[in-house]
Amino acid sequence: MIDFSLTPEQEEAVKAAHKEAAEFVRPLSRYYDEHEHEDPAELHKRRWERRRRAGMGMPGAGPAGPAAILVSEESSWGDVGLMMCSPGPGLGGAAIMASGTREQVAKFLKRYEEDPPKWGAMAMTEAGAGSDTSAIATTAVRDGDHWVLNGEKIFVTSAKRAMESGGLIVVWATVDKSAGRAGMKAFVVEAGTPGLKLEKVEDKMGLRASDTCTIVLEDCRIPYENILGDPEVRKIDPNDSAGFRRAMATFDSSRPGVAAQAVGIARAALDFVKESLEQEGIKVRYGLPRNKLTSIERDIMDMEANLKAARMLILRAVWLASQKQSNNMEASMAKAKAGQVVTKVTQKCVELMGPLGYSRKSLLEKFMRDGKINDIFEGTGQINTLIVARRILGFSSRQLK
């Protein structure tokens, strides 16, 4: 039986997340949007100290349950960029959990329980390899007791903070280019490793508080044991290799969280519109037949219905993960729906508010900028829709492209 109910303690955690988002985070939104590369040290300290007092262990590691997802939604309602730059292993932790041995999980994630706070990152995207992971050109060559990595990775979330804080970056590289996806492997590159270089920090349209970087690996030597999973290349089916499945398992874990971020942003935009209308004496009249509603009332109800639909898909995906069941299709459903919803809702909210929605007097235009990326990163809406179609129809990636 599927159960999304929360314990009293979990309900309090969600309420506390909303309170922090409203009272502490939201007032910082505009400042860190305008000062993109400035570090919100006061927020990092606050969140780290709260986590340590609560004894919450490794932040961001392992599959999130419904309570954690709702906390993520509330934090994103406050400011998604500031939420994304919180201390923790991030996508790097998700990759280690998905691909590493029990010993590797303990070794590499232990640092995220210790002072001072640290960040983690995962590097997969390249200039010539976005959605098509089989095109990855970064190489890993064994040299005795080491691997030597060479290549360039772009759009790496939190890479700068990971490198400066003593964290780590999980780098996806190929050990055999001719093997296609079967040659894909994940490698843990620790901060300070010679040959790991921060090449560029992006100036972005949204999520400006979160650093997004280009990194370069030049003869970057890491210990042999820093490879996650089986080092052997098994060319049984190059389109369904162990390395590729582990990469996708990372996204199965992370996509519901990204979808929750999208719902939080969309809800923030819709809340602003409803509050603005109520200040003018306009309230949505629920319960009336649709033909008796105004155009604005219909728009708002449609947006609310889509938000609820996206949230239910997200909760379904994370519940399956928490029960250690496959959620590949459900994670992609949640991500595709939420990315579509946040794009349409934020744009509609800007439209409904007219010039005020487009101006910088409110955060509404920022919500629209922050929201769009949710339909692009962690697998584009088109890619996630394709994954869902393959699962429903029973087709392989070779059969349905």
Q: What is the pLDDT of residues 148-207, one digit of tens each?
A: 999 999 999 999 999 999 999 999 999 998 888 889 999 999 999 999 999 999 999 999
The pLDDT value given to residue 57: 45
The pLDDT value given to residue 58: 46
Residue 184 phi, psi dihedral angles, 5° rounding: -70, 130
Which residues have a Cβ under 8 Å from the Cβ of 295 and sit 6 or more positions away? Answer: none
Task: Residue 184: name the closest of 93, 109, 249 by CA.
Answer: 249
Which superfamily does 94-236 belong to? Butyryl-CoA Dehydrogenase, subunit A, domain 2 (2.40.110.10)
Q: Where in the chain is the domain with CATH 2.40.110.10?
A: 94-236
CATH code of 8-87, in short, is 1.10.540.10
* Local mean pLDDT, 10-residue blocks, the chain (401 residues): 83 94 96 95 88 55 75 96 93 92 94 92 94 89 97 98 97 91 93 98 96 98 94 64 66 91 98 96 94 96 98 95 91 97 98 95 97 93 95 90 83
Q: Which of 20, 74, 152, 378 is catalytic?
A: 378
Q: What is the pTM of this model?
A: 0.92
60: exposed, middle or buried (C-beta count within 10 Å: 0-12, 13-18, 19+)? Answer: buried
Q: Is 378 a catalytic residue?
A: yes
Domain covering 243-393: architecture: Up-down Bundle (1.20)
Q: Where in the chain is the domain with CATH 1.20.140.10?
A: 243-393
In whole angstroms, what is the distance from residue 173 CA to residue 268 CA? Answer: 38
Tell me how far apart the 2 most distant CA atoms of the chain are, in Å. Answer: 75
The pLDDT value given to residue 242: 61
Q: What is the pLDDT of residues 205-217, one digit of tens each?
A: 999 999 999 999 9
In whole angstroms, what is the distance from residue 244 CA to residue 138 CA? Answer: 15
Q: Where in the chain is the domain with CATH 1.10.540.10?
A: 8-87
The pLDDT value given to residue 253: 85
